[in-house]
Chain A
């Protein structure tokens, strides 16, 4: 069993390593995997950012409309 551990690990690495990834630099197997593992987190962070921006824009728009309404000519 022990003697199989090395070759089987190598097989897993060869199958899963990003050898066919775009680019000419080595992305690093661990770095590549880390991104995949955290993709959900990064996606959620981006969605939160977009949501927050739209809330901010809506609030600012509401206030500026209000301001326009009060300051503008009748």
Chain B
């Protein structure tokens, strides 16, 4: 039996996450058992899973344990695609923060508390956040402050405040600081006007000062206690702080892209119909839509029952896509902020705590529509390299080639030297033909563009 410990589960000594022959398990150690019993017996588990807030699990037999420390083995429902906070847009991080506080409040009402408040405890199942760490619940000890308060502020409040007050692109700072933004750094980057907002003054600026003046503050807090109503008050205050944060709607280079497209509605309708037909013939259960923008084609794939990961480099566009999915109740599409020119790398201890984006596949189907010209001409990536990358992450491919005659490409090359001699339909087919079998091609009516359906030669 193939046993593999999850690269990110070693920090908490009370349990362990691992896979056995690819199936996911969590073992609980002796210290965690009373807390787990309370989670189940208090009705907290039923309340949280009933609302879709906590991932469901079943209890598995002891033969499925990882090692002898196990006192109980759980088999959690796997979430289809792992994602990390630095890949989320603003409202994904905000919803994950609110979910964490919802769970904290519900736990407090039932005599329990979250012992950690890491953003890594949340995953997205399509566009819905779900808390995955069943081992995070502990029995509430009387009069104790919330041990995870600082962690919550570092993982959620500080990056959200920065994204809202400065720029949503600062979410990427979480890649540099996987254990959350240091509060002193966040406070140095935040505008001074945030000192006038009581919630940010208290939870970020004052807390940052408390790290520097810890001794004096600790002395003054001697003998004080924090009861249940204070803990509920703290959670409610944090909720208000998070809920009020909204980024300014300044737009970006890619928002409204479909409205600015360089071809007609008729051409777009024809492209949509051809892509749908190609998808039907390609089939598959998982799809990566690269350069998904507002997700028009992601929805076509989701409508065919595929679990879709829709990536785009622009956090404003991904935010718009995510909000639309939530608003319209669309399931099965996970939007993520991923720049293919610099995809999220491996990270954490030994580079094993976070998996690189490109290794989380392969997908059954890769969509690369109106993308290749941005990589080739905007990013100077030669076509053979693009083809090799696509062949490594997907078995089948629906791809669009936009020639130099296209108005948008003409605009891209208007003020720069054309160094792209190989960027022709023949060059494209030669480069992709080395990695894929070209199954069919179709011109997009009323445009100079061509759509291809391909199968990877290694598939």
Residues of B within 8 A of A27 (CB): 145-151
A 24-46 to B, binary, CB cutoff 8 A, 1 in contact else 0: 11011111111111111111111
Interface residues on A, range: 20 to 34
* B interface, CB within 8 angstroms of A: 11-14, 113, 115-116, 138, 141, 144-151, 153, 202, 206-207, 209-215, 217-222, 224-227, 229-234, 236-237
**For chains A and B in complex, what number of residue pairs have CB atoms within 8 angstroms?**
135
- Flag whether A49 is at the interface (Cβ < 8 A): yes
Q: In the bound complex, do residue A45 and residue B115 qualify as a contact, i.e. CB atoms below 8 Å apart?
A: no
Complex contact A30–B211 (CB within 8 A): yes
User: A16: which of B207, B211, B219 is its contact (CB, 8 Å)?
Assistant: B219
* Residues of A bordering B, CB below 8 Å: 9, 12-13, 16-18, 21-25, 27-47, 49
A16–B96 CA distance with the chains assembled, in angstroms: 33
Return chain B residues, CB-CB under 8 Å to A35. 145-146, 149, 226, 230, 234
Minimum C-beta distance from B165 to chain A (A): 21
Q: How far is the CA of A40 from the CA of B227 in the complex (A)?
A: 9
The answer to whether B218 and A29 have CB atoms under 8 Å apart is: yes
A37 engages B224 (CB within 8 Å): yes
Known contacts A22-B144, A29-B218, A42-B234; A36/B149 CB under 8 A = no
Q: Do A25 and B151 have beta carbons less than 8 Å apart? A: yes
When the two chains form their complex, are residues A12 and B234 in contact, meaning their CB atoms are under 8 A apart? no
Given A33-B210, A42-B234, A46-B233, A24 and B12 contact (CB-CB distance below 8 Å): yes
Q: Is the CB of A33 within 8 A of B147?
A: no
- The 8 Å CB contact of B116, one of A21, A23, A31, is A23
Are B115 and A24 in contact (CB-based, < 8 A)?
Answer: yes
Known: A33-B210, A36-B226, A37-B224. A42 touches B231 (CB 8 A): yes
Query: Could you give 22 example pairs across A and B, Cβ below 8 Å?
Result: A12-B218, A16-B218, A18-B145, A22-B115, A22-B147, A23-B138, A24-B12, A30-B207, A30-B217, A31-B145, A31-B207, A32-B221, A33-B210, A33-B218, A34-B206, A34-B210, A35-B226, A39-B224, A39-B226, A42-B233, A43-B229, A46-B233
